[in-house]
Structure 1
Amino acid sequence: MSITDDLIVASATLCKTTGLLNKDYNHQIRNHVTVLRKLLSNKDLDSVAQDDTLLNVSEDSYFNFDPSQDSITYLFLLHLQIRARREASGQDLPADLLPSGKLWLKSAYFLRSFDPIQVRYAGHEWRQLVELVVQAAQASPRPFLAVRLVRDAMLRLDPSCAVLTSTHLLLTHLALFSKAYTCALPVLERQISHVPISAGRHFSSSLQILCAEHESSLSFLNEETGLSSKLLDRDYLRYFLYGGMIYMALKKWDKASHFFGTVISMPTVGSVSMIIVEAYKKWILVGLLEKGKLCPPPNITAPHVMKTIQSITKPYSNLAQAFESGDKKRLEAEVDAGQDVWRVDNNMGLVSQVLDEFARHSLMKTRKVFAALTVGELSAQTSPPNGKDDGITESKVASLIMSGAIDATLVHSQVCSNDSILRFATANSMLPQCHEIEMQAQLQIQGRLLESLFGHMEESNLRLGLSDEFIDNSIKGQSWTGAGEINPSLGGATDLEVEEDIMGDLA
C-alpha cells in the first residue's frame, strides 16, 4: 500500500469517528496529527510532494482529500508541496505560491473550506499557511487578494473574533498596505474581549479537549495551540492603531477616535511607547475633522502619559488651537510651519483635510448665531479682522451645500454674488425637503398596501356573506308581515333591531 493510500485510510478513519465522545475523538485526532508530523518529516516523499493532482481544487475532479473533511491531512500535504517547491526553486516564495499559482489556489481553497474543529489541533501549520499567503500577496502586484482570504479564515476559525491574535495584526496591516479598507471591517467591528494567555500561565494544551464546546475561544486561541504567535504589549497597541487608521481612511471619525483612544489610554509603566504618541497625533486630527475642536483624552489616561506625549506633539496642539480660534490665517501659518513634521509623520493628507474642513466648521459656528446672512457678511465673519484673506466664497458655500456638509439654501442675486443670501435650515423648514424622497417611498408602500386590500375585498365579501348575490338569494322568497316579525335565520329580536338600524342608515 502506498503512502497516499495510508493517508486516505487514516483520514477516512478520522471522519468516521465524528460520532464519538469528545474525549475519544480528542485522543483519536491527536494521534492522527502525531502520525502525520512524523510521516511528513520523511524526506523520501517526492512522489507525494510532486503530485499536483493529489490536492486538486477543481470541482469537477475527484478529491483524494476534501479540505472540508480531511482538513488536517490536506493542510499537512499542502505544506509538504510548498516545501518541495521552495527547495526546487531555491526561493522562499516560488511562482506557484503567488496569486493565481497552483499552490495559491490550493491554499485559498483550503482557507475557505477547512473544518475549524480539526484545525485547532494543527494550529502551527494553519497559522504558517496564513502567513505564507500574506507574504505571497505582498510580493505580488495585487496584495488585496489576500485580505478577504485571511478575513474569512479568521471568521471561520472563530466567528466572534473576540480574542486578539497575531492574525489580527496581519489582517489590519495587509488591509492598510493594499488599501482594501472595507474588507477588514467585519473583523474590526468585533469587540476584542481577551488577549491570549501566555504559555507560562495557561495549562498545557495537550490536556485540553479542543474539540469540545468552549465558553470562550480563549481556550484554544493561544500560543500553545499555535493559532496565535506570542503577543507583546506593543502588538496590542499596533492593532488598535492600524484599526483606527483604517476607519480614518474610510472617514468613520467616531470609530477612529475610539480605536485611537484605546491606544492612548493603555496602562503603561516607565517610558511611553511611540505608538501611543502616534495615536495621539491622529487623535488630535480626527477630533478636528469630526468635532472641530481639540478633544480631551479618555479619562482613564495616565497623567504622566499625557504630560509626555503633549510635550512631543506641540505642533499638533498648536494646529488645533489655531483651528479652534477661527483665524484662518493663523491656521494656514501653522500648517506651513509644520510641513516637515506632517511629512515625516505621514499625516500630510490628514492636515490637508483639516484645512479643508475649516470652512465647514466656521459655517457651523455662524449658524448658531445667524439664521440667514449674505455671502459678504459670512466672509467677514469667518475671516481675520485685519487679514487679506477673501474668506468664504459663494462657490465654496455652494459646494458644501451640495455635498451635504451643511443644511442650508443659497438664494442667488443677479446683481452681486456677495449679496447672495445663505439661509440655514431649521428642523421644520428642512422637513419637506430632506424627507421628500422618504415620504414618497412611504406613500408608494401605503398605496400598494391599499391596492392589495381592495383586491381582496371581493373575496372577503363572499366569505362574510355580504356580496350582492348572497343578499339577493337571502331575500328571495321571504315575506315580511310586520315590523316586529323577524327572520329566524338572522338571529334574535335584539340583533335584528341593530341590523335594521344599520340597513336604514345605508338606504
Structure 2
Amino acid sequence: MDSVEALVAQIQGLSSSPEDISHLHNFLKEAEELLLSQAHRLASYLDQLDPSNHSLGYLYILEAYTSAPISKEQASDLVLSVVSFINSCVAEQIRLAPDKFISVCKRFKDHVLLLQSPMRGVAPMLMAVRKLQLSSEHLTTLHPDFLLLCLLAKCYKTGLSILEDDIFEVDQPRDFFLYCYYGGMICIGQKRFRKAMELLHNVVTAPMSTINAIAIEAYKKYILVSLIQSGQFSTTFPKYTSSVAQRNLKNFSQPYLDLANSYNTGKISELEECVQTNTDKFEIDSNLGLVKQVVSSLYKRNIQRLTQTYLTLSLQDIANTVQLNTPKEAEMHVLQMIQDGEIFATINQKDGMVSFHEDPEQYKSCEMIEHIDSSIQRIMTLSKKLSAVDEVISSDPVYLAKAGRERPRFDFDDFDSVPQRFNM
C-alpha cells in the first residue's frame, strides 16, 4: 500500500463481509508503518470513514493518529472522536485487533485526565470494556482504567456495576492487582466494607514473585477495613499467600499493625494516641480519613458490647463507658448505629435512656429467601467452574509432565482411594 488514500479506499470497499474484513486486516497490518509516518495528517481521513461500518479500518487509522504528540487544545476534539468511535464501533471487528483498541482507550483515558475531566471518560470506558470482553467473566486490561476514572470522578456506583461480575479469566497479573485495589477503594467510598475486604484480600494473597507497591498499599487498607468491618485483624497470612508477601508486607506497614494492636485493647485513649503518633504517615498514604473511620468504629464496637450485657442504659452511662465527651455524642452514635442496622434499640428522649432489643429478623421473608436462593445459585455456578478447571488441569500435558518428573514412580496403593469416573 503506497498511500493513505488507497488504504482508505480499501477500507471502504472491504468492510461488508467477514471474508472481506479478513482480507482488509492483512492490508492494514502491512500499512502500519505508512500510517505511523503520516500520523499528524490522519484526522481528515477519519472523516471519510463511518466508525460503525468501517470499525477495523477506522481503529487502525485512529490508533496511528493518537500515537502522535497532541496538545491540550487538540485533546478535547480528539476525546470527542474517540467517544464517538467507542460508542459506534462493532465489537466483532475491534476484537480482531484488541491491542490497537486497548492502546486507543488508554490514550483516551490519558487525554481526559490531561483535561482534568475524568467524568467524561467514565461511560465511554465502560462501553469499551463491554465491547472488548468476550464474556462478563473476562477481566480485560481496560478494567483498571475504568475503575480509576470512576474513583477520580467519584462515580462509585458506576464502578460497582462492574465489580458485581465474577471474574475467572485474567489477561495480565498487573491488571488483576489494580482491578482489586481500585475496586476495593470504590467499595470503601460506598462503605461496602465486606466487599472491599474481599477485593483487597485478593491483592494481598495473589501469587507474586517480587513485592510490588500495589500489594503494599492494598495491605495497609486491608488492615484498616478489617478493623472497621470485623473489629479485629489477624497478622497471620493464609497458607496460599506467596512467601514474598508473607516476608515483606509487614515491614512496610508497621504503623498500621501498631494501630491494629491498639484497637484490640478496646481502649479509645490508646487508639487515639497511636493515631496521633502516626498521623503524618497516614496522611502521606492518603489513609487518614479511613483511619478516622477506624476510630469511630471502635466507639461503635464498644457500644455493641454493651448490648450484650445491659437491657437499658442511660446515654450518660454510654458516654462514660465508651469514652465519649457528652451524652449528645453518645446519642448520635446510637442513632447512626440503629439506622445502619448495627444495633436494635430505642431511645427515650424524655429520660435519656436507651433500651436494647433482639434482632427482629426472622429469616422467613420473601426478600431473605430470594437472597439465600441467589447465594446458593452463585455457589453452584462457582462449583461447576472449579470442576471444569480441575478437569482441564488434570489433562494438561505440561502439568502431567511436571507431576511425572516430581513423582516418577507410583505404587498401586496410591490409587486405592481414587474414585472411578463414569459417563452417565
| TM-score class, shorter | 0.7 to 0.9
SS in 2 for 1:427: coil
Q: Which runs of 5+ in 1 are unaligned?
A: 19-23, 57-63, 197-230, 414-418, 439-507
TM-score, normalization by structure 1: 0.62
Distance 2:40 2:282 in 1: 56
Superposed displacement of residue 343, structure 1: 1.6
Residue of structure 1 in register with 2:305 after alignment = 365
Partner amino acid, structure 1, of 2:106:
E
Distance 1:36 1:72 in 2: 13
Tell which structure's C-alpha radius of gyration is larger.
Answer: 1
Distance 1:105 1:136 in 2: 11
Partner amino acid, structure 1, of 2:28:
V
Distance 1:299 1:423 in 2: 44
Residue of structure 1 in register with 2:358 after alignment = 426
Kept in 2: contact 1:71–1:119 (CA 8 A): yes
Residue of structure 1 in register with 2:14 after alignment = 14
Kept in 2: contact 1:36–1:73 (CA 8 A): no
Kept in 1: contact 2:10–2:24 (CA 8 A): no
2:137 matched to 1:137? Answer: no
2:82 matched to 1:107? Answer: yes
Residue of structure 1 in register with 2:32 after alignment = 37
Kept in 2: contact 1:372–1:424 (CA 8 A): yes
SS in 2 for 1:121: coil
Partner amino acid, structure 2, of 1:180:
C
1:152 to 127, 131, 137: 127
Residue of structure 1 in register with 2:314 after alignment = 374
Kept in 1: contact 2:39–2:65 (CA 8 A): no
Superposed displacement of residue 249, structure 1: 1.8
For each residue in 1:451-489, what CA deviation from the matched residue of structure 2 results, as whole angstroms up to 9, or x when unmatched?
Answer: xxxxxxxxxxxxxxxxxxxxxxxxxxxxxxxxxxxxxxx
Distance 1:257 1:16, change over 3 A: same
Distance 1:423 1:50 in 2: 71
Residue of structure 2 in register with 1:349 after alignment = 289
Distance 2:354 2:152 in 1: 43
2:343 matched to 1:406? Answer: yes
2:227 to 280, 288, 293: 288
Distance 1:37 1:350 in 2: 48
Count of aligned positions: 361
Distance 1:117 1:351, change over 3 A: same
Kept in 1: contact 2:346–2:354 (CA 8 A): yes
Distance 2:169 2:74 in 1: 37
Superposed displacement of residue 114, structure 1: 0.9
SS in 1 for 2:170: coil
Superposed displacement of residue 261, structure 1: 0.7
RMSD: 3.4
Residue of structure 1 in register with 2:394 after alignment = none
Kept in 2: contact 1:154–1:161 (CA 8 A): no
Matches for 1:48-59 after TM superposition, within 5 Å: 49=42, 51=44, 55=46
Kept in 1: contact 2:133–2:140 (CA 8 A): no
Distance 1:323 1:170 in 2: 35
1:65 to 45, 49, 53: 49
TM-score, normalization by structure 2: 0.73
Superposed displacement of residue 41, structure 1: 5.2
1:188 to 140, 155, 163: 163
Residue of structure 2 in register with 1:452 after alignment = none
Superposed displacement of residue 136, structure 1: 0.9
Distance 1:142 1:274, change over 3 A: closer
For each residue in 1:212-236, what CA deviation from the matched residue of structure 2 results, as whole angstroms up to 9, or x when unmatched?
Answer: xxxxxxxxxxxxxxxxxxx4x5554
Distance 1:150 1:312 in 2: 34
Residue of structure 2 in register with 1:490 after alignment = none
Kept in 1: contact 2:66–2:107 (CA 8 A): no
Distance 2:277 2:34 in 1: 65
Distance 1:188 1:263 in 2: 15
Matches for 1:69-218 after TM superposition, within 5 Å: 69-79=53-63, 82=66, 91-98=69-76, 101=77, 103-158=78-133, 160-196=135-171
For each residue in 1:40-86, what CA deviation from the matched residue of structure 2 results, as whole angstroms up to 9, or x when unmatched?
Answer: 4564995xx463xx645xxxxxxx53212210222234346557xx5
Distance 1:253 1:155 in 2: 26
Whose helix fraction is larger, Structure 1's or Structure 2's? 2
